Amino acid sequence: MALTEELAKKMYTDMWRIRMFEEEANRQLGLGNVVGALHLYCGEEAVAVGVCSNLRDDDYIVGTHRSHGHCLAKGADMEHTMAELFGKADGTCSGKGGSMHVADLSLNILGANGIVAGGLGPGTGTALASKIRKSDQVSVCFFGDGAAARGTFHEAITMGALWNLPVVYVCENNGFQQWVRRETVAVVDSVATMAGSYGIPGVSVDGQNVVEVHEAVSEAVDRARRGEGPSLIEARTYRYFGHSPGDLEEYRTRDEVEDWRTNRDPINTFRAYMEERQWLTEREDEEIQEATSAEVTKAVKFAEDSAVPGIEEALTDVVDTAWRVEA
Ligand SMILES: Cc1ncc(C[n+]2csc(CCOP(=O)(O)OP(=O)(O)O)c2C)c(N)n1
């Protein structure tokens, strides 16, 4: 999809929406309002936005355990997403999914996944469904570089490639797998090179540069929609927060994090790109940030005001459980 001024403004806004949502979610976790674990996406915004800016509403995405950004970039509503993190009845999954299973089926956001590489199978499955239905929908599977070490990755990509499915595999290589650096547990530096084993195109892009991500994914999505099969895109990125709450971050220095924040921040990089083209004035930038900040405040208020799900809801929408209880 061509990068117009209008689309760029939306993408810039979406990057801020993710950044501010995540920072606020972290604050709310500290206040005890977020239930369960929280894996934050700050620093990686250009990947979700660069990918989803190429997708139609009816295209599918599957996420990872770090997926709020994917959902917001695909169009999920901030209020209901925040309510989901709070475990409230108005959450996108009625409060039953939480951060690690946030989803919105009305937007074909099939969900985050607490199991590393767990989304690759269902994501490839939706691509198979689209092919059978001849619907020309595309599926995107987001996964981390840690997921590329799991068998599910091999199985899913083999199936996608063998059956020529309309799927784009997007590896968010942030250089870490929980509390270890990639180079200490992986033999191959670039996940993109693994594409050759499956006979599909593989490309590695700067995941801090939303334009690079957008362009690479645009080509992969077009290819998939034309019926020419899957692609693997590796976006080299970095996460600013620890893996999850309680991470002592002994595997990296503060200087390293500061260096990425200062010199390779995806929002700053994109702002410079837009200013160069005169696509963004200082005033517009301020307005975008003010409006986004207000949207986040509203989302928190919505989540706070939403009810805790009633006990009678415990077994609704839970496949099998009711059957087990009756049996
Ligand atoms: C099957 C499985 N093994 C281990 C874990 C524990 N775990 C959660 S996240 C994670 C690291 C994942 O790294 P990566 O896929 O690179 O994603 P990132 O956290 O860097 O975004 C691990 C090992 C898990 N959730 N599922």
282-323 pLDDT, tens digit per residue, is: 999 999 999 999 999 999 999 999 999 999 988 888 776 555
CA dihedral (39, 45, 47, 49) positive or negative: positive
Tokens linked to 81: 């997403």
Would you state the pLDDT for residue 323? 55
Residue 327 has pLDDT above 50, yes or no: no
Q: Are 87 and 95 in contact (CB under 8 A)?
A: yes
Establish whether residue 40 lines the binding site of ligand 1, counting it when its CB lies within 6 angstroms of any ligand atom: no
Whether 243 lines ligand 1, by a CB cut-off of 6 Å, is yes
Distance in angstroms (rounded) separating the CA atoms of residues 52 and 71: 9
Other CB atoms within 10 Å distance of the CB of residue 26:
15
What is the domain range of residue 37?
5-326
pLDDT score at 319: 73
- Which tens digits make up the pLDDT trace of 115-130? 999 999 999 999 999 9
Rg (C-alpha) for the chain, rounded Å, is 19
Q: Is 116 in the pocket of ligand 1 (CB under 6 A)?
A: yes
* Per-residue pLDDT reduced to its tens digit, 138-193: 999 999 999 999 999 999 999 999 999 999 999 999 999 999 999 999 999 999 99
The Cα–Cα gap between 91 and 272 comes to 36
Give the mutation target among 39, 41, 65 for probing the ligand 1 site: most ligand atoms within 8 A of CB: 65
Average the pLDDT over each of 94-103, 130-139, 275-284, 310-319 and give the range with the smallest value. 310-319
Residue 105: CATH number of its domain: 3.40.50.970
Give the single-character DSSP code of 40.
-
Q: What is the pTM of this model?
A: 0.96
Which among 101, 178, 237 is the best mutation to test ligand 1's pocket, defined by most ligand atoms within 8 Å of the CB? Answer: 178
Backbone angles phi, psi at 15, to 5 degrees: -65, -40
Please provide residue 243's backbone torsions phi and psi, each rounded to the nearest 5 degrees. -55, -50
Mean pLDDT over 257-267 rounds to 98
Q: How far is CA 176 from CA 43, 99, 137, 236, 258, in A?
A: 13, 20, 32, 11, 16
Please state the rounded mean pLDDT for residues 217-227: 98
Give nearest CA residue, ligand 1 atom 18: 144
Q: Is 145 in the pocket of ligand 1 (CB under 6 A)?
A: yes
User: How many whole angstroms separate alpha carbon 123 and alpha carbon 63?
Assistant: 9
Q: Measured in angstroms, how far is the CA atom of residue 52 from the centroid of ligand 1?
A: 23
Say if residue 20's pLDDT is above 70.
Answer: yes
Residue 322's pLDDT is 52
For residue 6, pLDDT over 60 is answered with yes
Query: Is 80 touching ligand 1 by the criterion CB < 6 Å?
Result: no
Q: Do the beta carbons of residue 176 and residue 239 sit within 8 Å?
A: yes
Whether residue 69 has pLDDT greater than 80: yes
Q: How many domains does the chain have?
A: 1
Residue 325 has pLDDT above 90, yes or no: no
> What single string gives the DSSP state of each residue in 96-160?
SS-GGG--BGGGTB----SSTTTTHHHHHHHHHHHHHHT----EEEEEETTGGGSHHHHHHHHHH
Confidence check: pLDDT of 326 > 80: no
Phi, psi angles (nearest 5°) of residue 228:
-100, 10
